[in-house]
Amino acid sequence: MKGTIIIALITLTLTPLFRGFKISSDVKNNTKAAGCQIDTRQMPLNTPLLLSLSTRDILYPDYGGSVINLSRNEQIEIDCPGGANLVVAGVTISELSIATCVSGLEFAIAGQVVDFSTVLCSSRIRSAAYYTGSNCLGTGKEIEAGFDIRDGRFLQQYTACFDDQARNVLYTRFILSKQIGAAITGGTSPTWQEDDFYNLGDRVNNIYPKVAHRATINKLIGLAEDDTKYVHATAKGHLTARTDFNYNAQQMSTFHYINSAPQWQTFNALNWYFLERDLRLYAGNNFVELIVYTGTYGVTTLPHAVTGEDVELYLYVDDNGNKAMPIPELFWKVAYDPLTKAGVAVLGINNPYQEHVEKSVICNDIADELTWLNFDRFNVARGYLYACTIDDFRRVVPHVPEYEVLSILN
């Protein structure tokens, strides 16, 4: 049975990430004569999904701006997945609807011509996550996250490969849009709520808070529960990042626990964040769609306070000593351009206290060949990062897809 994950709210402020995007001088907004223009940067947070009738997928702005241009009489689908109703000029509509362009912001919807700014969802769009019934990496289970459209379609945004024994997300996969330069920024974010996938003896929300996971880690390494030597903050590390998507509803869909793994806060907020940002800038500046895998590898360690031996770290340990939710040794991304067949793997050490980084360098470092990486990647406290060819990385992590790679993504 499909298990829907419902999303609530916390506050998180985002800064504009795309001031650095370069727009080619020969690219202009090709406004369609006498047609309609929807500025995505002006859309309220509870704007419905805008779907193409031809592709049945989400509509994006024309390259070089934030405007969706439509011809007169051109039609699009509009829907509010997740239990919300469509509200058009104050009238509630419960089904998937067609909006027909009249002119400017005027659209014909459900027998009336309305200003598109009055077309809203009665509440925030909510995403869902389901087992697909397919396996991945042998014993892993594939999960897809996206939107239940009212005509029965499921609009997938990303997939995850989940180890339901170790309760560990092995990787996620999504398509980074070439229109990511027009992404909406700012606003609030949903909380990470409980879901139907982890099935532990405690709620995941009770495991992640700083006091709880500090006590768990300290017990593993022989420190007092409240010792602050190592754990100063908590981070649920996105695999597919919130800002890897254009619209608010898509961004909200990333807040499923099956799209996360435990990260040290300094790694999460510093070099890993800069890697995510630089990859988005690459896609936007070069107007390319990238297939992006983000995954975890190994289990990070800290020395035991008494014996000095390395101890593997987990966020969950039950009364019988059974462990789950490993804290990864490495986070990695594989980015691939299927048109040019260029690709690269980038890896980061998820431990600001690791003294010997060489033990976590599992493939030949070629990061100096990447012109689009711009940060202090050798700083262990911020997150030591390096890059490898996809083929070299696959020798250690064999489940990386066997793409034909003709060059490094550069």
339-362 confidence digits (pLDDT tens): 999 999 999 999 999 999 999 999
Q: Distance between CA atoms of 68 and 116, rounded to whole angstroms?
A: 13
246 marked as part of a ligand binding site = no
> Which pLDDT score is estimated for 25?
33
> Which pLDDT score is estimated for 83?
86
Partners of residue 293 on adjacent β-strands: 173, 334
Q: Which one of 213, 232, 238, 256 is the catalytic residue? A: 238
Q: Distance between CA atoms of 97 and 114, rounded to whole angstroms?
A: 14
> Is residue 30 predicted with pLDDT exceeding 80?
no
- Per the annotation, the verdict on 213 as an active-site residue is no
Closest CA to 329 of 168, 172, 181: 168
Query: Tens of pLDDT along 74-126?
Result: 999 999 999 899 999 999 998 899 999 999 999 999 999 999 999 999 998 99
Query: Tens of pLDDT along 45-71?
Result: 899 999 999 999 999 998 878 999 999
Mean pLDDT of 377-401: 94
- Can you give the pTM of this predicted structure? 0.89
> Which pLDDT score is estimated for 33?
58
Mean pLDDT of 302-319: 96
Closest CA to 81 of 129, 40, 35, 29: 129
> Which pLDDT score is estimated for 175?
97
> Is residue 229 predicted with pLDDT exceeding 90?
yes
